[in-house]
A and B are shown apart, each in its own frame.
Chain A
């Protein structure tokens, strides 16, 4: 049985770190070897990084490479004809985007794992779903943007998904209200991207002084805080503001990357992000890439067992984070609990002539 199948049969937050460590060390090693054989670019990289399977004693010994490489190279461990879909990161115009190649099996596992992780927050019964975005984000099925893929991926967790924004990103108030009337006796699953919810949902409701009855809503949102940080909106403010315009009480942020779609990290009731059975996270000190101790900030490395069609099972992000505890979060979930502090700062570029100070 595939390693992911094994995990799908276990409770998603039910293993302690020690048990997971042993399982992951073995499975990540075999994934590394599999990609080494199937992806020549990755094999060349491993050689330069000095990969030696015999020296792997823990998850932290698995080689990792910067996530930017998915922008520069076509990294895949499957033949062109096996590519079922290609996902891209949602870069702004002019930026290079990451390209992630999925075969059918990998795509299927992404969906299953996402459902498994979400079931811990949404329950196992599928709820009516309101997507706080526009349908246009999901249009091109072969070339998925992270936003579109997110909406589509999560829409499998809900029933009869309805989009809250029209083609022009305007609030479809009549549609929302009629949908809410139909579902007045049940919990509702809401999903969206953090910045889109803020810009096109929260602000519009606030401006129009409209209060939506979403007391029974459960909101899952992700996609990064970059835009909100510019407006100095914290996670706490985000929650309080939404609660104010629509009575939402259950709001869960998630952290994830298009490079490891499916195995996302959910925020718990205690406000911590969590590793599930399907992924793990290591905080590394930028100055030497050694593991940072608990409570110390560093670069975030993500590992996941899902990436089988491309070598994305161990990637170094440009985000800064810290581990706040292991197997001891008050919410009861086992594994690592952590916080993300956002993107690292860009440096100034130095050029030809700082020659005098010697």
Chain B
């Protein structure tokens, strides 16, 4: 049974893909099922052909669901000797600030073999319209098993719809701020259902100063480029963009900080769109934080590189409520320490990612795991901060969204 796009039923739901029937049907598939992989490959091809060039975020999604990446993911989840199956229906509540995340969320659910109801923001984003249109078209072109149980929908504030969709869900994925999550949580799921919540979080960088000081010029430029991609590219608004740079340094370490920041500032000067409002926003945040964190007495005088494009505030100590110390549009804080110990008490559940350079990431992961802290789900190289994947915010989503069939 097929339905036209933009069909608005009486109850106020607009279907960008799928139909009222595809909200109800549930027939789980095994993870990385053949039809699912073919569908995502098709989607990637179609997006790259038509619309990726004008939207970098669509391009990024299309790049992620290209064939070779899906194959890599599949081989990373072999589940040898295990039989797994999607858990059932997932109700996704996509964020209202990052248009493309609805597509990632949908793809994670598909890869797990689940039926998906994806609620996109009621704000109109061209990316959402474009990608949904392509999804809808491809579904109808020959993926009956997927088409039968997946829908992308939009509706305004409506507790009754949210309540009924929640009641039918085996799992709910909520992207949003603390208030959104609390609100959605008030609607019960099926008795065995559970929530996966992607709340607002913050991230930091850990850099070995010796390693930076030893870098030849061309590699320093590359490092700066990668740091730029983690930060300026999204104005530091992403959960995984660092605000604080922790320098691992010792007495007698040659100065790597200055050359690093200069290289970052040069990269930003070439690439960053820096209208006056960003300059003002950044300076305002710097001043606000100077006042908000006055009691810590930890701020040194800030330094600028290449005019206002990069601002760096040295910290003589790590203030309490470190998670609230944020930058924007190229505002960073830095702290020197011989080892990570001073961080341990600050890394609460608000902290998501550590991006690193010149340190052993396995050692950091081990330190996190052994320290009893609540924060840090991810330790990745500088340049990979924004690479969203099936493992996110501490969840292996394919694992979480599938069930294992035990036998003996």
Contacts and interface: CB of A to CB of B under 8 A. Distances in A.
Contacts of B234: 350-354
Interface in B286-328: 286-288, 290-291, 293-294, 297, 299-302, 304, 306-309, 313
A358 B225 contact: yes
Interface stretch (B235-243, B255-263, B335-343): B235-243
B390 interface: no
Contacts of A178: none
Interface residues of B, number: 53
Interface stretch (B70-78, B96-104, B209-217, B246-254): B96-104
Interface stretch (A61-69, A83-91, A99-107): A61-69
Given A47-B299, A351-B97, A353-B234, A286 B280 contact: yes
Count chain A CB atoms within 10 A of each CB in B104, B284, B291, B387 and give the residue with the most. Answer: B291
A49 B283 CA distance: 10
A50 B387 contact: no
B388 A344 contact: no
Nearest to B271: A357
Interface string A271-297: 000000000000001111110000000
Contacts of A358: 225, 229
Given A45-B290, A347-B278, A354 B283 contact: no
Contacts of B274: 286-287
B365 interface: no
A66 to B, nearest CB: 4
Contacts of A6: none
Nearest to A39: B291
B294 A356 contact: no
A48 interface: yes
B57 interface: yes
Contact of A44 (B95, B225, B294, B308): B294
B233 A354 contact: yes
Count chain B CB atoms within 10 A of each CB in A318, A353, A357 and give the residue with the most. Answer: A353
Q: How large is the interface on A (under 10, 10 to 19, 20 to 34, 35 or more residues)?
A: 35 or more
A92 interface: no
B280 A316 contact: yes
Nearest to A347: B277
B166 to A, nearest CB: 25
A69 B238 CA distance: 25
Interface string B261-274: 00000000000001
A345 B275 contact: yes
A45 B291 contact: yes
Contacts of A213: none
B348 interface: no
A289 B284 CA distance: 13
Contact of B277 (A45, A287, A346): A346
Nearest to B285: A66
B287 A351 contact: no
B386 A353 contact: yes
A40 interface: yes
Contacts of A49: 287, 290, 301-302
Contact of B313 (A48, A69, A355): A48
A320 interface: yes
B279 interface: yes
A288 B330 CA distance: 13
Nearest to B303: A50
Contacts of A47: 290, 299, 301
B26 interface: no
Interface string B136-147: 000000000000
Interface in A105-131: none
Which 7 A-B pairs give the minimum distances between C-beta atoms? A288-B307, A50-B301, A44-B294, A286-B276, A356-B60, A48-B290, A351-B98
Interface of A: 40-41, 43-45, 47-50, 65-66, 68-69, 72-73, 285-290, 299, 316, 318, 320, 344-347, 349-358
